[in-house]
């Protein structure tokens, strides 16, 4: 697949900015919230619990949009539209712990709830816009 991330915005994917993720609710309404994210060069990944509305929304409709604002320049942003193409269990919390290291500088995610089921959602970018 051709890389749809423009070079002029690729640096945003290496920041500690938050990705504001928008999904489609069961009545067609948008649902948006900020999340920590990781970029592996192909997929934008974020963590979610299986009890959250965002998770249920992408199970029903994998279309997703997200925007990331450069923390150093709020007028520089990247919007990605695509689909959640894979969901993986994060039963050992390796992924959420890696995000805690990136965003908080700690080895373990401090807000784990007993028995919560975490997953990693993989977003395949299809279109982008930037400024």
pTM, full prediction: 0.93
The pLDDT assigned to 14 comes to 92
Looking at residue 1, its pLDDT comes to 42
107 near 97, Cβ under 8 Å? yes
Q: What per-residue confidence (pLDDT) applies to 64?
A: 97
**Domain limits at 120?**
7-130
Residue 1: inside a domain: no
Give the per-residue pLDDT at 9.
87
How far apart CA 100 and CA 106 sit, in angstroms, is: 6
CA distance readout (Å), 28 to 53, 72, 100: 13, 34, 32
* Residue in 49, 52, 83, 53 with CA at minimum distance from that of residue 66: 83
C-alpha–C-alpha distance, residues 56 and 31, integer Å: 11
Taking the C-alpha atoms of residue 74 and residue 57, their distance in angstroms, rounded to an integer, is 28
Which CATH number do you get for residue 49?
2.30.110.10
Q: Distance (Å, rounded) from C-alpha 35 to C-alpha 10? A: 18
Q: How many domains does the chain have?
A: 1
Whether 50 maps to a domain, the answer reads: yes
Please give the Cα distance from 129 to 79 (Å, whole number).
5
Instruction: Name residues of the chain where pLDDT drops below 50.
Output: 1-2
Residue 2 lies in a domain: no
């Amino acid at each position: 697949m051709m890389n749809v991330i423009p070079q002029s915005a690729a640096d945003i994917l290496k920041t500690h900015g938050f990705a504001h993720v928008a999904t489609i609710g069961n009545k067609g309404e948008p649902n948006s919230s900020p999340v920590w994210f990781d970029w592996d060069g192909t997929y934008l990944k974020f963590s979610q619990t299986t009890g959250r509305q965002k998770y249920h929304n992408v199970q029903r409709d994998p279309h997703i949009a997200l925007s990331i604002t450069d923390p150093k320049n709020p007028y520089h942003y990247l919007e990605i539209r695509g689909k959640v193409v894979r969901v993986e269990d994060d039963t050992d919390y390796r992924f959420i712990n890696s995000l805690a290291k990136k965003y908080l500088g700690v080895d373990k995610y401090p807000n784990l709830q007993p028995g919560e089921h975490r997953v990693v959602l993989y977003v395949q970018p299809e279109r982008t816009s930037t400024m």
